[in-house]
Amino acid sequence: MIFPQKLTGSILIQVVVFTSIALFLIGGLVNWGRLLIKTADHQAARLQSFLIAESGTEYYRWHLSHDADDYQDGTGIAGPYIHNFKNKDDITIGTFELTIAPPEPGSTLVTIDSKGSTTNTPSSHRTIRTELAFPSLAKYAVAANDTMRFGEGTEVFGPIHSNGGIRFDGIAHNIISSEEYSYKDPDHEAGDEYGVHTHVSPQDPLPDTPLPLRPDVFLAGRTVAAPPVDFDGITATLSDLKTKAQNGGNYFSSSGDQGYHIVLNTNDTFDIYTVTSMVPAPDHCVSGEESRTWSIQNESLLSNNAFPSNNVIFAEDHLWIDGTMNTARLTIAVGRFPVSLELMPH
């Protein structure tokens, strides 16, 4: 009788092989999971660092709104300036570091670099660069402190704002806004109308009927009850600029004629002319004082001047400006004092 040969150890080898493979796969999965967790933690830390940096920007925006000329964080010394960032439980969870570049002469543009980081992962920092400046009336095509009416055929491409009401019957490619929610249109005998309205057919309804969009007139939309433009502040600013021009700048009082013409030169000088006459209007235009254009016909050279040390030029008369300059910055202001109702901005 023949008995089969007894085999020993074959099952043990298979167990070892498959166990090794399983351990290898499990180890890979564990490492992959650890990598995912580490990546998620890193991304969360970077997001939190970004939010902390953003809070630094908002903090200094608030600071400048209360002290517009302080670019040293209230310390009187050069930066950077580091602030702790705390959570709702008053526990410090990070910091933001501010580097502030003050505006160049003749500019109001402030550059703020805010670097945020968390306490747990300071290497995962984020930096936000923000540029802040005072708003300028130059952004408006028209800004007024009274009611206005724009007739049919008018086409305006820049934004328009009035602290009074606006009747607009033309085509507006930008936003038309008014401080007024409603007002009495002096050219219409009905009741109060919306602060920005049109009589282009179909005429806008009266408040408080919902205001239609009217994209045929207001291509970019319209806004009522908008924040006002501070014309009183503008008058105060002009007065301050006049004082600066009289003390270290260039000040020109009334020309006694049609006004002044400034030509800027690339060698940091400017020529100023007295305008003696303007181009007459065509024959079909109205007669009298308004029968002329705003184009210069004749002028005489008054002087050649270097750009002032404080970069401020003020003219208390009509002013034309042209020319080219390279690296300098100037603030050129025009106004008449004392302010009267006839000279207030409209």
Give tens-digit pLDDT for 106-116.
678 899 999 99
Q: Element (H or E) spanning 235, and its range?
A: helix 231-246
Q: Which residue has the higher pLDDT, 230 or 53?
A: 53
Say what percent of the chain tops pLDDT 70: 90
Stretch 154-165: mean pLDDT: 92
On average, the pLDDT of the chain sits at 84
**pTM exceeds 0.75:** no
Can you give the pLDDT at residue 182? Answer: 95
Under the banding of pLDDT at 50, 70 and 90, the label for residue 341 is very low
In sequence order, which ranges of 173-230 are alpha helices (DSSP H)? none
* 333 vs 249: CA distance, rounded Å: 11
* 112 vs 73: CA distance, rounded Å: 11
* 346 vs 117: CA distance, rounded Å: 50
Q: Give the number of other Cβ atoms within 10 Å of residue 305's Cβ.
A: 15
Give the chain's radius of gyration (CA, Å). Answer: 34
Under the banding of pLDDT at 50, 70 and 90, the label for residue 270 is very high
Of 43-57, 84-98, 249-263, 282-296, minimum mean pLDDT range: 282-296
Residue for token pair 């005489």: 300
Q: Element (H or E) spanning 24, and its range?
A: helix 10-66
Give the CB-side neighbour count of residue 202, counting CA atoms within 13 A: 5
CB 332 within 8 A of CB 235: no
pLDDT tens figures, 160-219: 999 999 999 999 999 999 999 999 988 887 789 999 999 999 999 999 899 999 999 999
Can you give the pLDDT at residue 9? Answer: 55
* 170 vs 33: CA distance, rounded Å: 64
Of 139-153, 174-188, 252-266, minimum mean pLDDT range: 139-153
Of the candidates 215, 231, 266, 47, the residue with the CA atom closest to the CA atom of residue 137: 231
Can you give the pLDDT at residue 343? Answer: 40
* 136 vs 140: CA distance, rounded Å: 8
Helix (H, G, I), strand (E, B) or coil at 15: helix
Of 14-18, 19-23, 28-32, minimum mean pLDDT range: 14-18
Q: Which residue has the higher pLDDT, 1 or 319?
A: 319
Can you give the pLDDT at residue 287? Answer: 46
Stretch 48-70: mean pLDDT: 88
Q: Give the number of other Cβ atoms within 10 Å of residue 55's Cβ.
A: 16
Q: Give the number of other Cβ atoms within 10 Å of residue 103's Cβ.
A: 17
Stretch 3-29: mean pLDDT: 68
Can you give the pLDDT at residue 199? Answer: 94
